[in-house]
Amino acid sequence: MKSAVQIISGFVIWGIFLGASWDDYNGFDLTQHSIPVKDILRGGPPRDGIPAILHPKFVSAQEASFLQETDRVLGVTRGREAKAYPIKILNWHEIVNDTIGGQPVLITYCPLCGTGIGFDRVIAERKLTFGVSGLLYQSDLLMYDHQTESLWSQIAMEAVTGPMTGQKLQPLFLEHTTWSDWRRRYPHTLVLSTETGYHRRYDRDPYADYALGPGVMFPVKPLDGRLALKEWVIGIEVNGQAKAYPFSVLKWLTAPLKDRVNGQGIIVHFDPKHARAVITDEAGTPIPAVTAYWFAWAAFHPDTLIFRARGEQSP
């Protein structure tokens, strides 16, 4: 039986073979755009073929028996409220439209890039809801909003086609960690339920083979060879200067790393047991950052610096 990744790959090959006469863009109007249209590719499924979650249900930590200690989750807090979004569910849905602490939020995950990013769902004073377009840019998820059908790049954090082109997404502080770690620190957390309204095998990872392989599935420009393509990094951008911190280097540190990016002091905290990286300012306030495969971070930040070791970085 073919894996989901093999099936998706087949769609891509046929799409390239058939050329531009095929409905390459899942019915989206790309007349207005800020990125090259030729670089927007079909990922395989049609629009909403990967169904976003519009009305999420949650269970308590005690009721989340479907989670194993080492399962990865995206964790978000606001005020006294904490929520965990299991990667085993996000692999099949990629987008959750939710509210936490009274704030409309958008939780996104791209399995091809390893990127889980949360955003404020109120943009230009409008509360938007989002779906999965079935399209990719730089191998990364292109979302679309239901209100204007603009396409939004997850990692670029902005609308790249349609009436909202150029509008920015406001990222939220979000943690990638294990279920055991998140539950220990937030025992009263709510957990996204497997009762999504869809029948999916949430205990099976359709991207397991892809995650273990060295290569990427879709064209990415540029492919930066300074690190292994799927090296895990946490990346931050400060006033146009980007820097990446490889997990393979952070795991050897015996204390939080104090660094400066474009003049701003930051502290990188790394927990090797749970492969959790967090960036704060010098006062300890969390800063939204992106945990990703190296190739994905570098594709959107081609001039990024890399932390190698103390006093050593790559241009």
Q: What pLDDT digit, counting tens, does each position of 260-277 carry?
A: 999 999 999 999 999 999
Q: Are residues 24 and 162 in the same domain?
A: yes
Backbone angles phi, psi at 140, to 5 degrees: -105, 150
Q: Are residues 154 and 238 in the same domain?
A: no
Secondary structure of the chain: what % helix, strand, coil (to 5)?
15, 40, 45
**Can you spell out the DSSP letters for 125-171?**
TEE--EEEEEEEETTEEEEEETTT--EEETTTTEEEESTTTTPBP-E
Region 116-142: what's the mean pLDDT?
98
Name the residue range of residue 273's domain: 226-314
Q: Is the pLDDT of residue 5 over 50?
A: no
Domain termination residue (choose one: 134, 153, 185): 185
Classified as helix, coil or strand, 58 is strand
Instruction: Report pLDDT for 309.
Output: 76
pTM greater than 0.85: yes
204 within domain boundaries? no
Q: Are residues 177 and 101 in the same domain?
A: yes
Q: Are residues 231 and 291 in the same domain?
A: yes
Q: Are residues 18 and 147 in the same domain?
A: yes
The structural domain count of the chain equals: 2
Q: To the nearest whole number, what is the mean pLDDT of the chain?
A: 92
Give the model's confidence band at 19: pLDDT under 50 very low, under 70 low, under 90 confident, else very high: very low
280 within domain boundaries? yes
Q: Are residues 161 and 63 in the same domain?
A: yes
Per the CB < 8 A criterion, the answer to whether 189 and 84 are in contact is yes
Q: Are residues 106 and 20 in the same domain?
A: yes
242 within domain boundaries? yes
Instruction: Report pLDDT for 8.
Output: 43
